[in-house]
Amino acid sequence: MSGIGAALLNSLDIGLLLFIIAVGLNIVFGVLNIINFAHGALYMLGAYLAFTLINIAGMPFWAALLLAPIGVAILAVIIDRVLLRFIYSRDVADSLLLTFAILLIINESVRMIWGSGIHVVQPPQLLSGSVELLGSSVATYSLFVIVIGLLLLAGLWYLFNRTRVGRIMRAAALDRDMAEALCINTRMVVTGVFAFGAWLAAVGGVMAAPMRALDPGMGDKIIIESFIVVVIGGLGSFPGALLGAIILGLIHGFGGRYLPEVNLLLPFVGMALVLLFKPNGIMGKGASA
């Protein structure tokens, strides 16, 4: 039972962290209809900014958690205004190519500024150590990630279903021309949504920094997992992002413990099965057809 409990908590930890990252990718696609291949690079940038603020500037982790995502969101506004605004009316493939170019630019910039070596961020003293839960020892920081993930989940649900901002975002996603006819500033909505998606990616990067070693390839790894999440759950679906992240978390949590030899293959096997039987994802558009 202790092994199962530890696997469940590990799955929830991984799944909610993936949700924080992947839901930003899903929101950007759902509203803007672009596949942001640079999302993983923005996640990486959040982690490296946290490293700089904590290890070099000497700021506490909590300040980095606040400031690093804001810095990445500001960069996202610049990217949107300078580059992305020219391709919103084009084919999705154009956005994929442009954001892939942005990914390469950010990756090389990270190598130039921070080098190609590995960097480590320590968790805050308050969250160091472990506690006994479900018959196993669990890192306190992992529980913190779970709590933050649940709070963000509740906050995002409230944003989209109970606020005027959420209704405006959904209106812009459904029919941008009609939204403009209703005097909604869709240009501001588009920029705000892209910046919000980048903010979520950077929050995930800061949260992941004390858990994973930082290297210039970390964004490439997370974008693959984020795409697996949205393929499983359904591209553009908020509940689908949660479902896909939890499923992938369970695959990693239980696969890493009980099937370590094939654990790296299991996410791709799961994605292939979903594509075979539910091409639009479990909760994507047309999934019930």
What confidence tier does 177 reach under pLDDT thresholds 50, 70, 90? confident
Percent of the chain with pLDDT over 70: 97
Confidence (pLDDT) at 288: 42
Domain ranges of the chain: 2-217
Amino acid at 41: A
pTM for the model? 0.93
Q: What is the end-to-end Cα distance of the chain in Å, rounded?
A: 39
pLDDT higher than 60, residue 216: yes
Cα(171)–Cα(180) distance, integer angstroms: 10
Segment 30-50, tens digit of pLDDT: 888 888 999 999 999 999 999
Residue range 62-69: mean pLDDT, rounded: 97
Burial zone of 96 (CB within 10 Å; 0-12 exposed, 13-18 middle, 19+ buried): middle
Segment 78-94, tens digit of pLDDT: 999 999 988 888 888 88
DSSP 8-state class, residue 215: -
Q: Evaluate whether 233 touches 25 at the Cβ level (below 8 Å).
A: no
What confidence tier does 117 reach under pLDDT thresholds 50, 70, 90? very high
pLDDT higher than 70, residue 9: yes
Q: Where are the alpha helices (DSSP H) in 131-277?
A: 140-162, 164-174, 176-181, 186-208, 218-233, 238-258, 266-277
